[in-house]
Amino acid sequence: MNPVNYLYLAALLFTIGATGVLIRRNAIVVFMCVELMLNACNLAFVVFSRMHGNLDGQIIAFFTMVVAAAEVVVGLAIIVSLFRTRHSASVDDASLMKL
Amino acid sequence: MSALQLAAYTTSTGEAFQFWVLGTFAVIGALCTVLMRKAVHSALCLAGTMIILAVFYLANGAYFLGIVQIVVYTGAIMMLFLFVVMLVGVTAADSLKETIKGQRWLALACGVGFGVLLFAGIGNAALTEFAGTGRANANGNVEGLAALIFTKYVFAFEVTGALLITAAVGAMVLTHRERTERARTQREMAEQRIREGRHIPPLPAPGVYARHNAVDVAGLLPDGTPSELTVNKTLRERGQIRDVSAEALNDLRALEQRAAERLERTAIEPATFKRPEEASK
């Protein structure tokens, strides 16, 4: 098997995640789709690292994970505070700037 | 291309088998994440996909990242997601009504177009070089990563620390809710109950005497109808109340029937218990 197949898998997962972000309305599920896209990128980085024979790609994937962890914490806090004020986790209900 | 290069360019049969089997499951998990109606199911499918990706990292020689993926992503991030789903998801049903007409199909078309673009890009890229991680991992994967992080990427690593602290403080600020008024004491609440005169004694307990003591079983009123007051408000909102009023009466009726058969007293009509509204029909 050619290792390029890993890249195709990463592209497929990224596409599925992007489509999910566009289709889904629940903020939590949209957020999970973003996580899926980040994971697909990480897979591509790891495979590139293997292709080029150095560890720089793995370092970038590691930093992506750290940033993703920070992003999840803040994003979920935003979702929780939105839910408190609007009693809904739907992204459509957050169309107005103010309550 | 020499035979040695070719051997390095293709993976082993075992890895190919692993890729095709686990890759299928990863794609199915990703699709389920997008398509599942309930957020909890989406989260579980995503956790499965992430574990499979961790296996792929291990297969690609990224041993440290594979373990970090399991610990950080499936262990911490997905559990955080599940906690938030538990906090938020009780009343959050995903609406199926389209607010923008044809948005779903447009989004699907965009996704397919984007996927074709990505695939074409990868197909056309000159990916002839394939070194493998053997040399890079010669002194151990973790040691190699550490050497890079603390020399070449040390500034990025320090900035990461600042980012994590900012995120932690930000999450605390965002979810912290300042109390605008003093919490009422038990005495004040009791006084208010008396003043309103609505429900003065404590709320009745759930469960049916000598039959069910679960909290989701509504207690029965003297006429046999379940009392909503006995069940927790959260369970009431979720619609998870178990109504055993008919069950108890049916049990009793079956018992009467059996007793009658055993004693061969068929002449006597078995006692029928009917609710008032049934009897009036």
- DSSP string of chain A, one letter each residue: --THHHHHHHHHHHHHHHHHHHH--BHHHHHHHHHHHHHHHHHHHHHHHHHHTSSHHHHHHHHHHHHHHHHHHHHHHHHHHHHHHHS--BTTGGGSS--
pLDDT digits (tens, 9 = 90+) for B163-191: 999 999 999 998 888 878 888 898 998 88
Contacts of B107 in chain A (CB under 8 A): 19, 22-23
Size of interface A-B (CB pairs under 8 A): 247
pLDDT at residue B232, rounded to an integer: 82
pLDDT at residue B275, rounded to an integer: 58
Distance from CA of B255 to the nearest CA of A (A): 48
Contacts of B73 in chain A (CB under 8 A): 35, 39, 65, 68
Alpha helices (H) in B89-126, listed in sequence order: 103-124
| B215 three-state secondary structure | coil
Q: Which CATH class for the A3-87 domain?
A: mainly alpha
Structure tokens at B217: 């079983």
pLDDT digits (tens, 9 = 90+) for B89-119: 655 556 666 677 788 899 999 999 999 999 9
pLDDT digits (tens, 9 = 90+) for A14-29: 999 999 999 888 888 9
Where do we find the tokens 């379940």?
B226
Return the axis-axis angle of helices A4-23 and B103-124, rounded to nearest 10°.
Answer: 160
CB atoms within 10 A of CB B241: 18
State the pTM of this model.
Answer: 0.76
For chain A, the structural domain boundaries read 3-87
CB atoms within 10 A of CB A83: 21
Contacts of B27 in chain A (CB under 8 A): 9, 12-13, 16
CA distance B49 to A36: 8
| B225 three-state secondary structure | coil
Structure tokens at A61: 């994937």
